Homo-oligomer: A and B are copies of this chain.
Amino acid sequence: MRVVRVAVVGGSGYIGGELLRLLLGHREVDVAAATSTRLAGRRVDSAHPNLRGRTDLTFVAPADLGEYDAVFLATPHTATMGRIRDYLAAAKIVVDLSADFRLHDPESYRRYYGRPHTELGLLGRFVPGLPELHRDRLRTADRVSVPGCMATAAVLALHPLVADDLVAGEIRVDARAGSSGSGAAVGPENTHAERSGALRVFAPLHHRHEAEIGERLGRPVLMTATGVEAVRGVQVLCWTRLADGVDARAIRAAYRRHYAAEPFVRVVAEHRGPHRLPDPKILSGSNFCDVGFVVDEAERTVLAVGALDNLVKGGAGNAVQCLNLRLGLPEDTGLEFPGLHPN
């Protein structure tokens, strides 16, 4: 197979950098361009020092975007839709990592992102970039919209429960997130002195990812989000109730059945030990989403837990997995790194 020429639009941010790390190490891909408005003309490794020795690329201005086999959009929410026609013209395959084409309901977009969507004709035309739920469609999808990091963790943690009708009633999602989820943005709340060691409940009721989770699962959820001391990592705790007649054995069976063949979802639900349930601590850099659960039959309650690296399975890694699917490559091509322990 010939090498695939790709470009990363918005290559200087954290998601852009992670895409570059993964794509530069991908044996079937040639990174032909990375754009940055701010850093055009400067070396890619000036923004991403981990790539020193791995590339001599320099950033180009967005206006200099050429034609490629695929482009990845690591551009800001609400800005992507304004340029989407250009991006669609630049490549047959477009993988969008912004939020602009995640929601299919324009009213929902307006509510959660604070402005009307300007490309209504394209809404719903991007396949959700979640191989575990949409693998078949992704094999032929030219337009992919990768979900948000917390949404991916929550959807994968809850999917077996909801898809198999094992739970009933309200679903509460308690998300904890590292600081890189804010991107490389600079602000007084985001300095090391202010953010270090914080337990900052930044979205006490209603985080915008709850709309995505609701659309993907077909069930509303209530979501709270707290910033915790970490650079990378998302963990979600999801509480809900067992449906009538459901027991712990059925829950376990559902997780096994849904995920036994998944290359990047591991079921972690042990009875003891520090690693009995998913923890993002050991997932930095890897494309795994670990999911687990605990059932209390007497209380008729279940806790589902999901964890991932927000920049990898929660963003760039998931995007590369989608590209692999689309290209007919093994899904884990370029995504072999398993994470570190200890870390």
Contacts and interface: CB of A to CB of B under 8 A. Distances in A.
A311 to B, nearest CB: 8
Given A49-B341, A237-B174, A337-B337, A230 B54 contact: no
Contacts of A182: 193
A153 to B, nearest CB: 12
Contacts of A201: 237, 276-277, 279, 305
Interface string A266-305: 1010000111110111111110101000101001010101
Contact of A229 (B230, B268, B274): B230
Given A186-B186, A285-B337, A342-B231, A205 B294 contact: yes
Contact of A285 (B51, B268, B340): B340
A338 B230 CA distance: 20
Contacts of A340: 21, 50, 232, 284-285
A115 interface: no
Nearest to A280: B199
A121 interface: no
A56 B3 CA distance: 34
Given A49-B275, A184-B188, A299-B222, A25 B199 contact: no
Contact of A199 (B50, B195, B235): B235
Nearest to A269: B204
24 contacts: A14-B193, A14-B342, A17-B341, A21-B338, A50-B338, A51-B338, A53-B338, A172-B239, A179-B191, A179-B196, A184-B191, A186-B188, A186-B190, A189-B274, A190-B191, A191-B191, A192-B231, A200-B274, A204-B294, A204-B303, A205-B301, A226-B237, A228-B229, A229-B230
